[in-house]
Structure 1
Amino acid sequence: MSVVTYHRLRATDPARWSAAALAWRRWAALTGALCGEFGPLVDRLRAAWSGAAADAAVTRLGTLRRRLVLFRLLCWRADQVLSELSAALSRARVLLDRARAAAGGAEPALDRPDLAGALRVAESADASATARLAELAALPVAPGERRRPDCTATPAQVRQWWDGLSPAERMWLLGNEPGTVAGLDGVPVADRDLANRLLLADRRDQLLRTGADAGKLRGLDRLAGRLESEGGPRAYLLGLDVGNDGTAVVAFGDPDRAANVLTHVPGMTSDLAGLDHELVRAERVAARATELGPATATSAVVWLGYDAPDFLQEAWSARQAEEGAVGLRRFQEGLRASHDGPAATQTVLGHSYGSLVVGKAATGALDADRVVFVGSPGVGADSVRELTVPADRVFASTSISDPIQYTAVSPGTAVRHLLPAPPPTGPADELWFGHNPGDERFGARVFSSQWDAGHLGYWDRGKPALDALARITLGGAP
């Protein structure tokens, strides 16, 4: 590994690495289009030709398609590695610029904290990228008879199984059995991303075959567009289910290589059709946290891994939150198991009905260092003492203009308070799902949100709520 120096880092342009990553992403997209032609081509060949020669031709086409799939996986892997390298070098350059500004534009002393941090970030990123790119030379090999994890395996056991495979065996599984890998908590995020991207076209075909509503199809297309986007941090697809309303898990930046990981759990009416709004919110926290704390990498994950209520009538029940809490606990356990290097600071944020999901999860073994409740109708607990997360690591906020704080006593009362203005008596202490976590008597650390945030404005740029969420994600005070 080459040593990163001040002069080399100053001459480095992170945008060039980002452009290289994008080029590989485009090659993957082109290869995907070519792979999509093979199914109709084989069907046409079979319809017009039969016999030994036809069988040989079909076999040859199958071999060619498998090679294209492998090439596509390698393109995405290069995209992942170079995207993360570019992001890390961008953070290093921010620290370098701070050191130069403090030195009046001159070359800063090597013992300055910002410069030392910049060189450390760049050197670590360089070493990681070099090692990961070296693995691309491995040709796929079918795994041996080693038993695969069953549905009872913990994420830690899944990770142990995955680590026991060679890079060549892992690549074979990704290319030939992506459905086996795509949803396995404990498998590294970068590998799950490859598997889920391979399955994306099949998921769209499934929607078309079943005559899904146009909104869900548009939502899936917007998700696919974000995965190919040229702007913002690289997106990782950790899970996708197009059944019912649709669920998805998407990360910005690789959480396995981040020091700070935020899991964002959305609330009522969240589904595949409207996923893009939740993606924007989580991405803004990750971006702001990176601005405030460039010395460490931050990743934000949108976890829509549960069936969120569609209507107020459904949202009166905690059933969907209780079911979601089980999946959220396993997902967080999986993030911990798949993480590389020192343990990350894991923060779980629940918004609206999502705060009930998080609250239900946090009454048990939720692998989270910090928990945040935003715009909550209650979290299924009357006090922070009922949660397994320490009281000084539980945060809550509800804007004075958020109508959610008036969901008290009964559905009829709540509906009247939601439409169109709050009652004159002020926010209720007791909400529909327990004591208001934004009330200091609940025991959480209450932080301020702008008065005009309403129910959805906690992620508005330039406002105090977003800064508070970013600082909490970084492990600090709001």
Structure 2
Amino acid sequence: MRYSLLSVTGKDNQLFEIALLLVAPVTLTGAFGVPAVPLTVAVGEAPVADPIGGPATPLDRLHGVALLDQLDSLPRGDVRLFLDTHPQALEELISSPPRASEVAAWWAGAPTSGRSILRSVAPELIGNLEGVPYTARDIANREVLDAARQQLDARLDGMLGRAERGELETRNHMLDQIEKALRGEERRLVSIDVTGDGRAVIAIGDLTRADYVSYLVPGMFFGVDAQIEAWTETAQTLVDDQERWLRELNPGSDAAVAAVAWIGYRTPSLVNVASMELAREGQQSFTASLQGLRAARGDDQPYLAVLAHSYGSTAALLSLAEDDVHVDALAVVGSPGSPARSADELHVGSVWVGAADWDPIPASGVFGSQPASRNYGAHLFSVAAGSDPLSGAQLGGAFTHNDYFAPGSMSLRNMALIALGEGSGWWLPITPAATSRAPSPTSASHTAG
């Protein structure tokens, strides 16, 4: 419904004032015999011209939330036509999305029919738009996954060269791994990109109501095709362990936990692991993910923890030092560091570091700091084999760079407790800052993982 103040001059030059006439655009056509021009303005801005017959902002000149606000009011056919004829508008919304808080506010005010149309016409947008509720994103992203599978199957049924067939079969295998990772109770596909090496973010548990949420951020060689299933199972193990710890440490508690297997950036290989370029890409994507959770939760915020390994810890450290995000706890293991010189420069409630004796990366300072050093100011937790201080069970130790998230290990056990805010209890073994020495020539020559 639009509100207009109309003036009509009669033949006898008398002025008939029609004040605050409540009319819809189609009513204007019937009442006065002239076509009504829809009013199109950016959200939050006042019209710059008379809405009756005055110039309006063309749809293809709108951006961000202003564009979303107009698309959600169009019929399905018009939305599809616009996106088909203006693919760059969709690409821009995906590559340079509005802030998650703006998206959350838009979604809350958008008509249900408009949200449904956008999800069905552009699932790749809604599924990856931070600030949209996770249930809606999961539905949209599964549609993207199904559509990608159908397209690949159709192409593989045709005549292909050996190289092209090999590439498509590799991509098909990646989709298989995502589908396998989604098999399990209460798993949601939070984000997906089926192009290139792919990206996938899978949540275990309900991110909209969990009291404790943990993000698991991996490092080198953790591509979607090779690791999304295993990384999701690691997140599941973390959730299972945390639920057990909550029952043991807080009998009668009904607190819920959730974890996010986050492969939301291109992880490096041996070729580019010494550069921070991919860490910067990871920083941008990880910041958006954290802001999306904050926006989706509104006034009901969880205890938020980040558990990051190796090169992934560099991306997380960049995000938590330079961007507008804050978490309650951060645990990094096997970290090559970041430009942040101390824990005080991070937007984190408590900072924890784990480092295996035979892992050279934490002592290398490849990217400017040594989080495991005494001067950094973080708490160091044990990753060595030993008895569980509470249960007496024997736990495995992390000896090399890739042992920190092993099920049944002291390292994963301690990170589970840290992510529950239980790091200060006597039940979490602490180790001395053993890596405060300067990097040796041998350790400095190793690449970050």
User: 1:283 matched to which residue of 2?
Assistant: 236
1:222 maps to 2:181: no
Pairs within 5 Å for 1:48-87: none
Superposed CA deviations along residues 107-149 of structure 1, whole A, max 9, x for unmatched, are xxxxxxxxxxxxxxxxxxxxxxxxxxxxxxxxxxx94259999
User: 1:70 matched to which residue of 2?
Assistant: none
The 3-state SS of whatever aligns with 2:208 is helix
Superposed CA deviations along residues 318-352 of structure 1, whole A, max 9, x for unmatched, are 11101210111111001111126621111122111
Kindly provide the amino acid, as one letter, of the partner of residue 208 in structure 2: D
CA distance in 2: counterparts of 1:431 and 1:177, whole angstroms: 44
Superposed CA deviations along residues 67-89 of structure 1, whole A, max 9, x for unmatched, are xxxxxxxxxxxxxxxxxxxxxxx
Kindly provide the amino acid, as one letter, of the partner of residue 292 in structure 1: W
1:255 maps to 2:200: no
Residues 333 and 367 in structure 1, CA contact (< 8 A), matched pair in contact too: no
Distance 1:461 1:240, change over 3 A: same
User: 1:144 matched to which residue of 2?
Assistant: 73
1:436 maps to 2:365: no
CA distance in 2: counterparts of 1:265 and 1:277, whole angstroms: 13
User: 1:349 matched to which residue of 2?
Assistant: 307
1:399 maps to 2:356: yes
1:472 maps to 2:424: no
Kindly provide the amino acid, as one letter, of the partner of residue 337 in structure 1: A
User: 2:138 matched to which residue of 1?
Assistant: 193
How far did residue 384 of structure 1 move? 1.5
Superposed CA deviations along residues 268-306 of structure 1, whole A, max 9, x for unmatched, are 112121122221222211111111115311111122111
CA distance in 2: counterparts of 1:328 and 1:278, whole angstroms: 16
238-247 or 208-217, which moves further after superposition?
Answer: 208-217
User: 1:459 matched to which residue of 2?
Assistant: 405
- Which of the residues 185, 193, 205 maps onto 1:241? 193
Residues 394 and 445 in structure 1, CA contact (< 8 A), matched pair in contact too: yes
What's the RMSD between the two structures over aligned residues?
Answer: 2.6
CA distance in 2: counterparts of 1:439 and 1:283, whole angstroms: 31
Distance 1:340 1:291, change over 3 A: farther
Pairs within 5 Å for 1:71-470: 143-145=72-74, 151=96, 153-205=98-150, 209=155, 211=165, 212=167, 214-227=169-182, 229=183, 231=184, 233-274=185-226, 275-294=228-247, 295-311=254-270, 313-339=271-297, 342-364=300-322, 365-390=324-349, 393-405=350-362, 428=363, 430-451=364-385, 452-453=397-398, 454-470=400-416
Question: For structure 1, which runs of at least 5 residues remain unmatched after alignment?
Answer: 1-141, 406-427
Residues 178 and 200 in structure 2, CA contact (< 8 A), matched pair in contact too: no
CA distance in 1: counterparts of 2:272 and 2:133, whole angstroms: 35
Pairs within 5 Å for 1:27-46: none
CA distance in 2: counterparts of 1:349 and 1:207, whole angstroms: 35
The 3-state SS of whatever aligns with 1:331 is helix
| Greater helix proportion | 1
Residues 236 and 252 in structure 1, CA contact (< 8 A), matched pair in contact too: yes
Residues 205 and 257 in structure 2, CA contact (< 8 A), matched pair in contact too: yes
The 3-state SS of whatever aligns with 2:174 is helix
| Identity rate, percent | 31
CA distance in 2: counterparts of 1:367 and 1:341, whole angstroms: 15
How far did residue 194 of structure 1 move? 0.4
User: 2:25 matched to which residue of 1?
Assistant: none
CA distance in 2: counterparts of 1:318 and 1:250, whole angstroms: 25
How far did residue 168 of structure 1 move? 4.7
How far did residue 382 of structure 1 move? 2.7
CA distance in 2: counterparts of 1:205 and 1:337, whole angstroms: 34
Question: For structure 2, which runs of at least 5 residues remain unmatched after alignment?
Answer: 1-70, 80-89, 156-163, 248-253, 386-396, 429-449
456-465 or 348-357, which moves further after superposition?
Answer: 456-465
CA distance in 1: counterparts of 2:208 and 2:119, whole angstroms: 18
Residues 264 and 350 in structure 1, CA contact (< 8 A), matched pair in contact too: yes
Residues 270 and 304 in structure 1, CA contact (< 8 A), matched pair in contact too: yes
Larger radius of gyration between Structure 1 and Structure 2: 2
The 3-state SS of whatever aligns with 2:221 is coil
Superposed CA deviations along residues 180-206 of structure 1, whole A, max 9, x for unmatched, are 311100001111000001111222345
Kindly provide the amino acid, as one letter, of the partner of residue 125 in structure 2: T
CA distance in 2: counterparts of 1:157 and 1:145, whole angstroms: 20
| Greater strand proportion | 2
How far did residue 307 of structure 1 move? 1.2
Residues 308 and 331 in structure 2, CA contact (< 8 A), matched pair in contact too: yes
Kindly provide the amino acid, as one letter, of the partner of residue 305 in structure 1: G
Superposed CA deviations along residues 341-365 of structure 1, whole A, max 9, x for unmatched, are 6211111221111011011111122
Residues 234 and 407 in structure 2, CA contact (< 8 A), matched pair in contact too: no
Distance 1:145 1:202, change over 3 A: closer
Superposed CA deviations along residues 439-471 of structure 1, whole A, max 9, x for unmatched, are 232111111112542223222333221221111
Residues 207 and 242 in structure 1, CA contact (< 8 A), matched pair in contact too: no
In the alignment of these two chains, the number of paired residues is 308
Distance 1:206 1:321, change over 3 A: farther
Q: If the length of structure 2 is used for normalisation, what is the TM-score?
A: 0.63
The 3-state SS of whatever aligns with 2:141 is helix
